[in-house]
Amino acid sequence: MSLRYLLDENVEPSYKTQLARRNSEIIMWVVGEPSAPPRGTLDPEILLWCEEYGFVVVTNNRASMPGHLRDHINEGRHVPGIFILGKNLSFGQNLEELIFLAEASFDDEYRDQIIHLPHSYSLKLK
């Protein structure tokens, strides 16, 4: 399993609880937890943290995150990826998608990319 997730502070923290119930091997931290960036950390700083510690950002931020990623890459930096939760997916469908991606992804598969969920073939067919 190659992906580790950081939920930004605008994502429902219960994703972490539900993820642990369904697959306790997937690492998911939440902004504001002791080892994660503190609440109120700006998105560019979140990207720096994720680059340093190897976490994929999970967010609902469709508006400004693409610009932050572009700026980050233009500075010669990289991130393991950014996953934007599907606004037309239920909580459970988004969670299943995160589990699928964590279990099926290769190292650096989503490097410097923004992935809008659903990304898996199975969810797109439903």
pLDDT the model gives residue 121: 52
Its pTM stands at 0.92
What pLDDT shows up at residue 35?
94
Structure tokens at 53: 């510690």
Instruction: Provide block-wise average pLDDT over 10 residues at a time, the chain (126 residues).
Output: 88 95 95 96 97 97 94 97 95 95 92 91 46
Encode 38-75: b = buried (16+ Cβ within 10 Å), e = exposed.
eeebebbebbbbbeeeebbbbbbbeeebeebbeebeee
Contacts of 124 (CB under 8 A, 6+ apart): 118
Amino acid at 103: E
